[in-house]
């Protein structure tokens, strides 16, 4: 990516040089921090397509070349060799942990997986068929009420909240699944256990019998959590940062991030993609007919799990997920028909001018639902699983935002297009 030289802006005949913030790699940033004060102008950038909201050292994406790196490490290397808590530490603290440190982190997180009885009662208060994302957002926000000693911005409190969020979000999500299928909550082991294995045990173990996770499911879960762990300034992470910028506590911030993630254009796309495959199957339409409907746009149908704001080539996470789907679905069986349909849909879309011209490729959400389904998760749980993976990223960004001296409360401006001024009309004089 070429770095830009000087940039000058002339407004009403007066020229100013705009400072450029240099990136280590990727797009440099043109600073307009004093634009309003100097010129009286604001900028308009719907969807923040051209706007960097902050400087960040956590995750790098090159959308043209399909590159994703956490703290400089390529995603395929982490996916192939790391574990989720190792990646969580990397994202949050900036370096890969030693074996001893990782062991200490795993034990500390495991000791905190127990949730307060009040949280269990909270989860039980919702209808069994409530969407788990609605409950998850509330439960994470409620953690602030149960653990008030961890709601501050000091080092001790933030470290504690980091551990509590990693630990308790896993238990809450496992309990959401148990509740949705009518099972009792079982207690976490409080130590000596692997995070992903314990999450799977809390989710799937029968109340009265031991449970050992299928190694294929265990590895797939770890890998999927790693792939979802961060994605720089996406919609939910930007939400977490902006909520936190008001000095709201980390739980309130991440709870808002869960809300943002639930939308079908964001994390909710994994659920929407699977529903789309089911609908195509049930409708009896051919894949070509469905693609024609998407291109026609009159019904507002989108190819869910396709397209991305940043990636204009294959999403590197999507490539790993497709390989994983191949392995998991063959090993666990089932879903073969839907998987074949998804692959055919991808093939047709990738050779169609509509998708080629707009550089639309499968994203991480296109195949994940099929894998989660094969692993035994109901459709409503797909986006909570994305959320569990994204927790370290949200935490890392919240912490970076809090420490950044440039952080100011997030407060965009507007270009007002309403009435300028009018006199109040008394009720009896209104038409
Ligand atoms: N199916 C059909 N057309 C599409 C799609 C799609 N999935 N995505 C984009 N387009 C078209 C869009 O209609 C537009 O066409 P035109 O220029 O003729 O108006 C063009 O491609 C550019 O789309 P856009 O909506 O301006 O792009 P965006 O960067 O604002 O949106 C997106 C990105 C991910 C919201 C969008 O591609 C989309 O809605 N995809 C489907 C939902 C999805 O899979 N989301 C998951 C994203 S990855 C994981 C995550 O973030 O959680």
What is residue 2's predicted lDDT score, i.e. its pLDDT? 56
How confident is the model over 7-20, as a mean pLDDT? 95
How many A from CA of 331 to the centre of ligand 1?
Answer: 32
Residue nearest to atom 37 of ligand 1 (CA): 307
Catalytic residues: 308, 365
User: 21 - beta bridge partners?
Assistant: 29
What is residue 6's predicted lDDT score, i.e. its pLDDT? 86
In ligand 1, which atom is closest to the CA atom of 363? 48
Burial class (CB in 10 A: 0-12, 13-18, 19+), 47: exposed
What is residue 1's predicted lDDT score, i.e. its pLDDT? 52
* 347-231-171 Cα angle (round to 5): 100
Residue nearest to atom 11 of ligand 1 (CA): 358
With a cut of 80, say whether residue 334 has pLDDT above it: no
Residue nearest to atom 8 of ligand 1 (CA): 307
What is residue 375's predicted lDDT score, i.e. its pLDDT? 95
Residue nearest to atom 19 of ligand 1 (CA): 358
In ligand 1, which atom is closest to the CA atom of 231? 51
pLDDT band at 148 (very low <50, low <70, confident <90, very high): very high
Mutate to test the pocket of ligand 1, among 47, 293, 307 (most ligand atoms within 8 A of CB): 307
User: 68 - beta bridge partners?
Assistant: 61
Per-residue model confidence as pLDDT tens digits over 64-86: 999 999 999 999 999 999 999 99
In ligand 1, which atom is closest to the CA atom of 354? 3
Per-residue model confidence as pLDDT tens digits over 268-300: 999 999 999 999 999 988 999 999 999 998 888
**Residue reference for tokens 């994203």:** 363
Residue nearest to atom 3 of ligand 1 (CA): 302
How many A from CA of 313 to the centre of ligand 1?
Answer: 13
How many A from CA of 360 to the centre of ligand 1?
Answer: 8
Pocket, ligand 1, Cβ cutoff 6 A: 47, 234, 265-267, 269, 294, 302-309, 358, 360, 363-365
pTM score, whole prediction: 0.96
Mean pLDDT of the chain: 95
How many A from CA of 266 to the centre of ligand 1?
Answer: 10
DSSP letter, residue 337: H
How many A from CA of 383 to the centre of ligand 1?
Answer: 18
In ligand 1, which atom is closest to the CA atom of 235? 51
Sequence-distant (6+) residues with CB within 8 A of 337 are 281
In ligand 1, which atom is closest to the CA atom of 366? 44
How many A from CA of 295 to the centre of ligand 1?
Answer: 12
Q: How far is CA 214 from CA 184, 200, 240, 298, 388, in A?
A: 22, 10, 34, 45, 20
> Residue 404 half-sphere exposure, CB side, CA atoms within 13 Å?
19
Q: What is the largest CA-CA distance in the chain?
A: 79
pLDDT band at 390 (very low <50, low <70, confident <90, very high): very high
Burial class (CB in 10 A: 0-12, 13-18, 19+), 125: exposed
Residue nearest to atom 27 of ligand 1 (CA): 309
How confident is the model over 157-173, as a mean pLDDT? 98
How confident is the model over 242-255, as a mean pLDDT? 98
């Amino acid at each position: 990516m070429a770095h830009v030289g000087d940039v000058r802006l002339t407004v009403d005949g007066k020229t100013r040089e705009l400072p450029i913030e240099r990136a280590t790699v990727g797009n440099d940033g043109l600073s307009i921090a004093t634009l309003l004060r100097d010129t009286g102008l604001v900028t308009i950038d719907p969807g923040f397509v051209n706007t960097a909201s902050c400087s960040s050292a956590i995750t790098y994406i090159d959308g043209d070349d399909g590159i994703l790196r956490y703290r400089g490490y390529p995603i395929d290397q982490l996916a192939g060799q790391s574990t989720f808590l190792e990646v969580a530490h990397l994202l949050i603290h900036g370096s890969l942990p030693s074996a001893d440190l990782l062991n200490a982190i795993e034990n500390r997180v495991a000791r905190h997986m127990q949730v307060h009885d009040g949280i269990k009662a909270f989860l039980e208060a919702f209808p069994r068929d409530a969407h788990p994302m609605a409950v998850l957002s509330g439960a994470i926000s409620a953690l602030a009420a149960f653990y008030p000693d961890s709601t501050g911005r000091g080092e001790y409190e933030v470290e504690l909240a980091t551990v509590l969020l990693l630990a308790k979000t896993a238990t809450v999500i496992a309990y959401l699944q148990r509740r949705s299928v009518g099972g009792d909550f079982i207690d976490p082991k409080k130590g000596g256990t692997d995070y992903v294995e314990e999450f799977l045990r809390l989710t799937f173990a029968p109340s009265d019998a031991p449970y050992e996770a299928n190694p294929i499911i265990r590895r797939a879960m770890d890998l999927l959590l790693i792939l979802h762990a961060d994605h720089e300034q996406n919609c939910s992470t930007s939400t977490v940062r902006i909520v936190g910028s008001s000095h709201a506590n980390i739980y309130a911030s991440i709870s808002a991030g869960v809300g943002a993630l639930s939308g079908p254009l964001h994390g909710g796309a994994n659920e929407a993609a699977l529903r789309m495959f089911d609908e195509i199957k049930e409708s009896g339409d051919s894949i070509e007919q469905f693609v024609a409907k998407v291109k026609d746009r009159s019904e507002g149908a989108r190819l869910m799990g396709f397209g991305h704001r940043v990636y204009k080539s294959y999403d590197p996470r999507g490539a790993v997920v497709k390989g994983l789907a191949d392995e998991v679905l063959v090993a666990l069986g089932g879903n073969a028909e839907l998987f074949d349909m998804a692959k055919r849909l991808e093939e047709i879309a990738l050779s169609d001018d509509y998708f080629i011209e707009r550089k639309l490729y499968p994203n991480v959400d296109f195949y994940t639902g099929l894998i989660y389904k094969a692993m035994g998760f109901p459709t409503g749980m797909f986006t909570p699983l994305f959320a569990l993976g994204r927790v370290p990223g949200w935490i890392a960004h919240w912490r970076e935002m809090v420490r950044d001296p440039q952080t100011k409360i997030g407060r965009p401006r507007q270009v007002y297009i309403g009435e300028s001024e009018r006199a109040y009309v008394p009720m009896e004089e209104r038409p």
